[in-house]
Each structure stands twice: as C-alpha cells, then as structure tokens.
C-alpha cells in the first residue's frame, strides 16, 4: 500500500480528515500535518514526509489554491511524477496545475462510496511503492539565471518558512492536553464504568484531535488531567461518580455524583459520558485562558458551572456563576461564551419584567464579550435570539457570520441547521446538522437533531441507519426511544408509534390524547377517526396554543386544506419561527404544491427572506409552478395591503 502525503489548506481540515480516513481504511499510510509530533521541527518534518511519500494527494479548493505552502507541496508532487490532484470545490487550481485531470470530490459529504472516491482509491493502487521518488523535474526551456532574482527568491523562501513555523507554533494551535481516564478503585464496578467512559471519550478525540488526547496514566508522559470514574449497581438504582484531578499534583478540580433508577441505566451512561466530555473541554479552556491558566478557585467554579450547564434546563441559577467569572477574569473567552449562551436561552423563554431585564443584560454582555473576541460565535447567536420572529433574513445572516468566523463551532452549526429548517432549506439544514453531530459526537441533542432532519428530509433509510447506530452506542436510552417514536409518528409505521406511545417510555405532555387519536386516524383514516383526531387537536390547541403544530400536522395529513390555509393566514407573523419549523415536514408536500401556499409564505415573512437572500426553498425544484413568479404576486399584494393599512 502507498505512503501518502496529504496537502490541504487549513480551512479545509474537516474535509481533509474525512479523505485521510478513507485512504487509511483502504490500507494506505497517510501523512498529514495533524499528526506532527509536539515540538517537532515543522518545516523539516513536512519536507521529510514529502521525500518519503509514494504519492502527493493535493486537495484543491479556493483556499488551498491561494496557499503558497499547498502550491509548493503540489509542485514537489508534480515535478517528481507523484501528484494526485483532488478537487474540493469548483474553483480552478493555480497556474501550473490546470493541465492535470482532477478527481472531483466536491459533492462528497463523507458518506458512502461514490465513483469519484473509488477513482481516488484506484489511483492509489497504481502507484509504485517503496522506491525512492524521482527527482527529475518536468523539462522546461533553459533560461539564464539572474543572480539578483535568485537572492530575492531565497529571501522570500526564508520568510515563508519563518511565517509557516510561526503559524504552526502560534497559540491558535495549542498543545493538546493529555487526559488519563482511570477507575476510582480496582473493583469490577468502577473498572467497567471507567472503561465505558473511556470508549465514549475516544469518539470525541477522533472527532476533534485538538480537544484532548487520551493516555495511559502509567505511560512515559504524565497526564495533564486525571478523570476518575466510579460506579455501582443497586437493586433499584444505578450510581456513578466522576472526579477530575490535576495531573501533576492530583489536586481536586471537580467532582460529581450521579444517580438514576435501575431501569434508566442507559440514560445514566449517556449522561456520564456527555458531562465528562463537557467538563474536560472546560478544563482545557481554563488551562489556556489568556495564555495562562485560571486560578484554582476560578477553575473549580468554572467546571461546576460547565457541569450544571450540561445537565439542566433550569439556567437562571447558573447565570451568577459565569457572571462572577467574567468579573474576576474579564479576558476569559470561555466564561463569556457560556454566559451569552445562558442569557440567550433565557431571552427565548422568559416573559414580562424578567425578559426585559435579560434582554438588556444580554445586549450589554454581547458588547463586553466582543472586546475579548470580536468574532465570538456565541455573540452572533445571542444577537440572533434578540431579533423578532419576523426578521428571518437578519437572523440567518447572523448565523452565517457566526459560522464564517467559527467554522468548527458545533453550536453555531446546530443553530443554523434549525434556522434553515424554518425557511425550507432542508438540504443545507441536513449538511449543518450532520457536521454538528460529527463535531460533538457525545451530544444527545445534536445527534437527535441530525436524525430529525433526516426524517423531515424524507431520507428514511438513512434516518433508520443513524438511529440504529445511535442505539448500538446507547442501547435503551430514553431520548432515542422518543426519536424513534417521532420517526414512526410522521414517516414510519403508525402502529409501531402507537405501541411506543402506550408503553409510556417517554413523556409527550398535554398532547398525549392528540397523538393517540392522530395515530389511530393514520392507521384507519375513516371519516369518524379523522374528525375525532382533528377535534381533539382543536380542543388541545385552544387550551395550549403551542399544540397548534399537531393541529397543522393533522390538517396536512388528512387533507384539511381549506382549514389549514385559514389557520395559517390567521396566525401571528411574530410567531413565524414557531409555525414554520412544522410546515416543511413531509405531510405538507401537497400544501406547497398549491400556488396558494405562497400567500401563507408572504404572511409569515418567508418570501421576504427568500427574495432578499436569493436562497429559495428546496421544494421549488419540484413545484408545479414557478416559485419566484408566484412569490412576486403575493409579495406585491401583501406590500400593497401594508401601505393601505399604514395610511
């Protein structure tokens, strides 16, 4: 098998990782700069790796085409006959490389095995291995050497090497902390719990090589952090514990006890791994704060807040914790990001005097956080939360900016995925949800959201595949039972959904009777069953307005088209985000095939977003009418009404 040198731009690291894994799975030995040893001489090691490789796979993109280092690495491959060019987007390679046929992986999402990926793997099989690569360059016309030009080029090379070395060693690429996961004692219970947490944390390490590195405590290099795991099974409950200590002096940094009823053991295992991951991430942030670690007191307070944030929806008691840390360590970005996240979620749920106070505080803290990092992702997300529901264009623009500046922030990707669902851009929502789940593999919420978007996108086979994969990782977890119920509720077997509902494996709140009657009507859509389902949905909606979604779902499913249009046109545009996250589900396919749906879209502010952004919803590709033409009619009609009402 071939020794492969992988050349890419820093901005394309995620795509590079996916391709590196594909090559490694095929048996090739892949060298790329994410595996450089700590403290290595970067330029020297890269040069040596280039010399030793059998093939130089270059990932061309807009960013890599502008990178002098990628161009130099590609030239080394070209001039020695080892170049294998791959295209990540539709931009052209730089001059000198356009005569080569590129393997186009621009549309590969990392899943499956498309023909283009097989072309890359086939190309690897034809490369001679083990022999020293030729150093003969491609013949060019001879030119007389200009000594001053040679001196200038040498100076440029020195500056480039110095700049590259500085970039590689800069704080943007900090040393990866070493973490040892051990059992609290050597009895079978703690050893089993520790082993389970270690396996789960390994997926986090695989997803983000900069997050942490798991090591053996007895290894040659002492760990930076030690995570002690304990646990015991009682006849009626399961108990576990996590203790985080400093690696050098075993100072206690944080500890937490966990308990669940025995029947919820899978939930406890999931909770334990997720909290461990979040606390370790926060510990690493504290170690890097301002280029120096937080004080021990602030570190303990920060870890306590991070742990609670990972476990509870009751956020108001957590606000003072992070507020205190920002006051004591005003340049610590991690505390600002958590504070903004908490206040943004409070701003989305509170009412009255509390809401007004939270919004004022959030605006002030956004400004303060931007003094620490002008491009903080959580600042953009918080600004988006402050906007009214009708400001879809402005909201999505903020989410776009958050990701442009922070492409590896899984929370920003998750938020944009949810926003894209509300404007009908399901394909883009799916890409963001998948990436967010891959970046944060231990987050139940992000994994569930990815499966949810697959369901809404009617990719039922993929949804079941991901659901099965999640259930193998967390067998019996209640959140996955809820996700499977949702799958059968909307896209799968209604009889199975009804069995899940009657097993009471999860909570559905006040809408239990509505779900039950809806499923019975799906199983047997008789006139009596359908009317009973819609009647219950109307009754529940009158008492609980948030249950409107089930009424909309029922009307769309059972062809209550006239009532559905009337209901949507009578809704308040301010609650558009609450409504529009439902109307792009599979049951609404026929609704959007009716040109009158554009009147609803205009009412809810969707057409304003589509026109201003130039990003039209996915259904327009299959609609039996021209979306832009119909949208223009209803947009002008609604604009005229607004002017009339304003007189």
Highest mean pLDDT among 47-61, 126-140, 275-289, 365-379: 365-379
pLDDT at 140: 34
Highest mean pLDDT among 180-189, 260-269, 329-338, 627-636: 329-338
435 pLDDT more than 90:
yes
114-158 pLDDT, tens digit each: 777 877 887 777 676 654 444 333 333 334 445 544 444 455 444
- Dist CA 377 CA 402 (whole Å): 5
- Decide if 413 contacts 432 (C-beta within 8 A): yes
284-316 pLDDT, tens digit each: 888 866 556 788 899 999 999 999 999 888 899
Say which residue, 140 or 599, is predicted with more confidence: 599
3-state secondary structure of 231: strand
pLDDT at 215: 81
pTM above 0.75, yes or no: no
Non-local CB neighbours of 87 within 8 Å, separated by 6+ positions: 60, 61, 93, 102, 103, 104, 105, 106
Structure token digits, residue 545: 């307005």
Highest mean pLDDT among 333-342, 552-561, 565-574: 333-342
- Dist CA 150 CA 534 (whole Å): 82
Largest Cα–Cα distance in the chain?
A: 93
Say which residue, 10 or 284, is predicted with more confidence: 284
Which of 29-33, 274-278, 523-527 is predicted least confidently?
29-33
Give the phi and the psi of residue 497 in degrees, each rounded to 5: -60, -40
pLDDT confidence tier of residue 466, bands split at 50, 70 and 90:
very high
Over residues 28-51, the mean pLDDT reads: 67
Residue given tokens 């095995």 in the structure block: 113
Over residues 480-499, the mean pLDDT reads: 88
Q: Could you report how far apart the first and last alpha carbons of the chain are, in Å?
A: 76
161 pLDDT more than 70:
no
- Dist CA 232 CA 543 (whole Å): 45
């Amino acid at each position: 098998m071939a020794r492969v040198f992988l050349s890419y731009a820093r901005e394309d690291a995620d795509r590079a990782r996916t391709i590196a894994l594909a090559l490694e799975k095929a048996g090739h030995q892949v060298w790329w700069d994410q595996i450089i040893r700590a403290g290595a001489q970067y330029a020297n090691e890269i040069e040596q790796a280039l010399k030793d490789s059998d093939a130089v796979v270059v990932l061309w993109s807009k960013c890599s085409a502008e990178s002098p280092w990628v161009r130099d690495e590609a030239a080394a491959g070209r001039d020695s006959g080892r170049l294998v060019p791959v295209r990540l987007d539709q931009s052209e390679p730089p001059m000198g490389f356009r005569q080569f046929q590129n393997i186009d992986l621009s549309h590969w999402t990392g899943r499956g095995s498309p023909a283009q990926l097989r072309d890359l793997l086939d190309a690897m099989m034809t490369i001679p291995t083990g022999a020293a690569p030729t150093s003969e360059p491609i013949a060019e016309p001879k030119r007389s050497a200009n000594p001053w030009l040679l001196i200038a080029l040498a100076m440029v090379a020195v500056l480039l090497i110095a700049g590259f070395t500085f970039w590689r060693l800069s704080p943007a690429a900090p040393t990866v902390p070493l973490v040892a996961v051990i059992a609290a004692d050597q009895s079978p219970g703690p050893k089993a719990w520790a082993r389970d947490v270690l396996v789960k944390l390994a997926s986090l390490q695989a997803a983000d090589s900069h997050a942490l590195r798991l090591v053996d405590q007895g290894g040659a290099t002492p760990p930076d952090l030690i995570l002690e795991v304990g646990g015991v099974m009682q006849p009626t409950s399961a108990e576990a514990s996590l203790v985080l200590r400093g690696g050098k002096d075993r100072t206690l940094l944080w500890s937490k006890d966990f308990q669940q009823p025995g029947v919820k053991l899978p939930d406890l295992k999931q909770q334990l791994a997720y909290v461990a991951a979040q606390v370790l991430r926060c510990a690493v942030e504290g170690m890097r704060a301002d280029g120096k670690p937080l004080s021990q007191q602030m570190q303990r307070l920060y870890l306590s807040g991070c742990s609670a944030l990972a476990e509870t929806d009751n956020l108001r008691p957590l606000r003072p914790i992070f507020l205190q840390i920002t006051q004591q360590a005003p340049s610590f970005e991690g505390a600002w990001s958590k504070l903004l996240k908490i206040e943004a979620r409070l701003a989305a749920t509170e009412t009255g005097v509390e809401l007004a106070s939270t919004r004022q505080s959030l605006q002030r803290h956004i400004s303060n956080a931007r003094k620490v990092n002008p491009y903080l992702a959580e600042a953009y997300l918080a600004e988006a939360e402050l906007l009214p529901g009708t400001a879809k264009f402005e909201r999505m623009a903020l989410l776009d900016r958050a990701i442009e500046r922070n492409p590896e922030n899984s929370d920003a990707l998750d938020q944009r995925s949810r926003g894209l669902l509300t404007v009908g851009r399901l394909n883009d929502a799916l890409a963001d949800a998948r990436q967010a789940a891959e970046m944060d593999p231990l987050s139940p919420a992000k994994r569930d959201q990815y499966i949810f978007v697959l369901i809404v996108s009617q990719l039922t086979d993929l949804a079941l595949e991901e659901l099965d994969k999640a259930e193998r990782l967390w067998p019996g977890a209640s959140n996955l039972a809820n996700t499977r119920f949702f799958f059968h509720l909307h896209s799968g077997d209604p009889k199975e959904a009804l069995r899940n509902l009657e097993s009471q494996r999860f909570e559905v709140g006040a809408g239990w009777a509505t779900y039950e009657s809806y499923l019975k009507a799906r199983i047997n859509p008789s006139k009596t069953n359908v009317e009973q389902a819609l009647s219950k949905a109307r009754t529940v909606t009158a008492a609980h307005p948030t249950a409107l979604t089930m009424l909309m779902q029922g009307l769309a499913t059972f062809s209550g088209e006239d009532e559905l249009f009337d209901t949507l046109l009578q809704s308040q545009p301010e609650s558009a985000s609450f409504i529009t996250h439902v109307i792009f589900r599979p049951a609404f396919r026929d609704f959007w095939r009716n040109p009158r749906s554009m009147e609803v879209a205009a009412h809810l502010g969707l057409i304003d977003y589509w026109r201003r952004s130039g990003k039209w919803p996915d259904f327009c590709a299959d609609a039996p009418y021209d979306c832009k033409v119909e949208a223009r009619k209803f947009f002008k009609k609604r604009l005229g009404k607004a002017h009339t009402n304003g007189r």
